[in-house]
Amino acid sequence: MSISCAVLGTGYWGKNILRNLDALGALSGFFDSDAEARAAFGAQYPNATVYDSVDAVLADPSIPAVAIATPAETHGTLVRQALNAGKNVFVEKPLCLEVEEARELEALAREKGAILMVGHLLLYHPAFLALKQAVADGAIGRLRYIYSNRASLGKIRRNENALWSFAPHDISMMLALTGRMPDKVVCNGEAWLSPSVADMTLSHFDFGDQLQGHIFVSWLHPYKDHRLVVVGESGMLVFNDTLPGEDKLLRYPHAIGWKDDLPVMDKAEAEPVPYGTEEPLRTEMEHFLDCCATAKTPRSDAAEGVRVLSVLDMCQRSLDTKAPVMLEQS
């Protein structure tokens, strides 16, 4: 790649961004507030510059792009600093924590003529891309219902709830499939371990035109369940990210007929849907670098980040008020 990128944050996810940028020959340097991490990754990536501050990274004119993988509450400030320093920016989800700030960052990127891309990883998963293409090709007809489960035992957090920790993945996929924002959101949940930090939430979405959806997230679940089910008028698709090989993405060509005014089920065997084997993060980082090099709009650009954040905000307001939240018309 002709574009190089520095990484801010080398923790749980940042280390994977380091690895992929290095494999793509695009890792120019990195900074982490942990001196031990800087030393360890400096030894692992001897050709990368180890910076001693965020300011040092942003002041380096040889760096055209940065990837931000720091705690979510720092994203807004760091994105703003990087854009003002003239950098293209990749930031892990969420873009920031407030919808209005997200819109400001989108406008700032536009003003600076910079790429601002949000790390919604599953939009780059080969199985999801195959599922999305199947829907676009009419493989299951008109969409009727979408639901997603993202549950496991841990990783439990105290600074953000399960909704904000898990649901952005599924919201981004749902919006990509529907091509629209929900008209109404109802979100319920409960906090058992830490006050006001929901361990489980169930969000229901009404997209209008008889299209419905829901997202269930929990870190108090007996087993890992990462599953997206898409129901159409002439079939169903299931993306189960916990399964290997051809079982990961299946089409169920079930059909419903009528006899004597009664519905008759015609159940069919599941059919594997072919998909690629590329690592999603590698594809995502390649896409970011390509957008930086060509000024192409990213698949998960700032506008998409604003939409996901807006839906999260609707869910949180419904969770707090225990009442439906309607989409605000702009």
pLDDT tens digit sequence for 143-197: 999 999 999 998 888 888 999 999 999 999 999 999 999 999 999 999 999 999 9
Residue closest to 289 by CA, chosen among 24, 75, 81: 24
Question: Does residue 302 sit within a domain?
Answer: no
Question: Does residue 301 sit within a domain?
Answer: no
On the 0-12 / 13-18 / 19+ scale of CB atoms within 10 A, 192 is exposed
167 lies in the same domain as 272: yes
Q: What is the pLDDT of residue 8?
A: 98
Question: Does residue 105 sit within a domain?
Answer: yes
Q: What is the pLDDT of residue 330?
A: 58
Q: How many domains does the chain have?
A: 2
254 lies in the same domain as 271: yes
Examine the fold and report which residue of 57, 87, 114 is the final residue of a domain before the chain moves on: 114
pTM: 0.93
181 lies in the same domain as 109: no
Question: Does residue 204 sit within a domain?
Answer: yes
> Among positive and negative, which fits the CA dihedral 274, 119, 290, 60?
negative
| CB distance 187 to 165 below 8 Å | no
85 lies in the same domain as 128: no
Whichever domain contains 190, its CATH number is 3.30.360.10
Question: Does residue 297 sit within a domain?
Answer: no
89 lies in the same domain as 133: no
Q: What is the pLDDT of residue 125?
A: 98
| CB distance 217 to 230 below 8 Å | no
Which 3 state secondary structure label does DSSP give 125? coil
Examine the fold and report which residue of 87, 114, 141 is the final residue of a domain before the chain moves on: 114
315 lies in the same domain as 202: yes
83 lies in the same domain as 160: no
Question: Does residue 317 sit within a domain?
Answer: yes
Bridge partners, residue 95, by sequence: none
Q: What is the pLDDT of residue 181?
A: 97
82 lies in the same domain as 14: yes
Distance (Å, whole) CA 213 – CA 31: 40
Question: Does residue 101 sit within a domain?
Answer: yes
Q: What is the pLDDT of residue 137?
A: 97
The tens digit of pLDDT for each residue in 42-53 reads 999 999 999 999
Examine the fold and report which residue of 90, 114, 138 is the final residue of a domain before the chain moves on: 114
149 lies in the same domain as 250: yes
239 lies in the same domain as 154: yes
Whichever domain contains 87, its CATH number is 3.40.50.720
Q: Which residue has the tokens 């599924």?
A: 170
| pLDDT-flagged residues of the chain (< 70) | 1, 330
The number of angstroms, rounded, from the C-alpha of 8 to the middle of its chain's C-alpha atoms is 19
103 lies in the same domain as 172: no
Q: What is the pLDDT of residue 138?
A: 96
Range of the domain at 139: 123-280+310-326
| CB distance 141 to 235 below 8 Å | yes
83 lies in the same domain as 129: no
Question: Does residue 314 sit within a domain?
Answer: yes
